[in-house]
Structure formats: C-alpha cells, structure tokens
A and B are shown apart, each in its own frame.
Chain A
C-alpha cells in the first residue's frame, strides 16, 4: 500500500500547504504576536521544502539563521515595542481592496508564468541524480574558491558578504545603543520618562 504513494509529492504538498497557508495567515491576522508565530511555522515549512529539493545545507541554514536568528530578533522587536495599542493595528478597507487587487493580479501573473515554460514542467523522470548528492562539501569548497564541477568559486562574494555583515552589525549596534543624555550622565530610558 505504501509503495504506491509518491512520497516526494506527498511531502511536497504537505510542506507547500503549511508554508503557503501560514504565509497567508501572517497576511490576514491583525495581531503582531500571532504574525510572528505564524511566520516561524511558515519559514520552517520552507526549510522542509529545501530538504526535499536536495538542498540540505541551505535547509539547515534556513532553520539556524532564519528561524533561529532573524525571527528571534523580530520577536524581540515585537516584545520591545508591544504596547497594547500596537498589538492590533487596523488597516483601512480601501487599502485592503487595493492590496487584494494588486496581489491577486501579481499572483495570477506569477502562477501562469511558472506553468507556462515547458522546461520547468518536465519532471526529471528516470534520470538518476548525481552520485555525489551531498551538497555540504561542495558548498564549503565553493566558498573557499574551489569548484569541482568547473564553475567559478565564490571566494570574493564570501569575503564581501562577511565584511558587509560585520559593518551592518556594528551599524545596528550603533543605531540601537542606549542614548546618553546631554550632560553625559545616565542613559535616558524614555519608557520610564513617559
């Protein structure tokens, strides 16, 4: 009985439904705390899609950096700014109508384009995937400038993105630092002053 099931397709539909459903839930819930938790589920399901496509390193990085890092940062932002009148912020009806019109048109265009190109609809069929299916070693080598399959290495983009990350984190720490008052005394906590 289980042999008749295409497990790749089954898990694809499972993860696709979870990720798309919770992405739409992020869109339609007015509560910012619910939005953050739905986003975690949606991005976790996207990591499942990555594993399913054979990109196990990217999937692991999605879980570690996105779900474990970026979203925790966003949740901290929600907690730092969550006063009761900001938890739920209503959007006007006119904005909803405009958004649904633009979003629907964009979705139709993208879906039609996705299923229009013949080369994207042909499944792999019986052709076997490469013998060296693991990507982690190849990604590590490519980031250090060596490509076994003859392409270009990624040493320069890797260095550039490292410096970019360093500069960005210093800038973020500078922007978010506690403000000193003009006489150089204690940091001003505006939440206490209010």
Chain B
C-alpha cells in the first residue's frame, strides 16, 4: 500500500487543506479586486477548517481531538461570516468614496 493511495488518513485531509490555504494566500497576493482578496480570505479559512475537522474526526485516526475540532470549525465559520460582513461594508464605502475597488488605489494613508 503506497502512502498516498489506499485508506484515507488525516494526512490526506491536511493535504487538501494545504492546497486550499495556498490557493487562498495566492488569491490574496495577486487579486487587485478587493472582493477577490476577500474570496482569498474565505479560502484560507476553509483550509484551516478542513484541518480542524480532520483532527476532530473519529473516523480517521484512533485518538482524535473529538468534539473540540468540530466546535473550533463552527467558531471559524461564524467568524468568517462576521469578517465578510464587515469587510464588505468597508469595500462598499471605499467604492462609494473612490469609485474604484482596486486595492492598489487605497493608498491615502501613505505618509
């Protein structure tokens, strides 16, 4: 049995979480649209959530985090919803005042 294929372990879930995390980080780095940056943040939080659920799952390894992993994942989901609401309000304000959502143009605080 090769280590990659065969029965699913925690490491496989961690690999999926790593891909989501890196895709989100790259999204935050490359997108100039402020909403694209927000979507990158959502991807990063989902990568973290995959890891929490994998460590909390009773089906993947003998001694798991148990319920703690599930509850942390729930808190992350709620925080992501709150973050999206506030960030969207800020983006709409920026769009109303500057008529643009290019994050490169949000440079008024530059010294």
Contact = CB atoms under 8 A, between A and B. Distances in A.
Q: Do A and B bind each other?
A: yes
A181 B51 CA distance: 48
B106 interface: no
**Which bucket holds chain B's interface residue count?**
35 or more
B46 A46 contact: yes
Given A58-B70, A77-B35, A161-B79, A23 B6 contact: no
Interface in A1-19: 6, 8-9, 12, 16, 19
Contacts of B11: 114-115, 117, 120-121
A129 B33 CA distance: 46
A65 interface: yes
B49 A62 contact: yes
Q: By DSSP majority rule, is chain A's interface helix, strand, loop, or mixed?
A: helix
B84 A130 contact: no
A177 to B, nearest CB: 9
A78 B26 CA distance: 20
B80 to A, nearest CB: 6
B22 to A, nearest CB: 4
A41 interface: no
B57 A65 contact: no
A164 interface: yes
A39 B77 contact: no
Interface in A22-73: 23-24, 26-27, 32, 35-36, 39, 42-43, 46, 49-50, 53-55, 57-58, 61-62, 65-66, 69-71, 73
5 contacts: A23-B23, A74-B39, A91-B30, A102-B29, A127-B62
Interface of A: 6, 8-9, 12, 16, 19-20, 23-24, 26-27, 32, 35-36, 39, 42-43, 46, 49-50, 53-55, 57-58, 61-62, 65-66, 69-71, 73-74, 76-78, 80-81, 86, 89-91, 95-96, 98-100, 102-103, 106-107, 110-111, 113-115, 117, 119-125, 127, 129-130, 133, 135, 138-139, 142-143, 147, 149, 151, 154, 157, 161, 164-165, 168-169, 171-173, 175-176, 179, 190, 194
Interface of B: 3-16, 18-27, 29-33, 35-36, 38-39, 42-43, 46, 49-50, 53-54, 56-62, 66-71, 73-75, 77-82, 84-86, 88-93, 95-96, 99-102
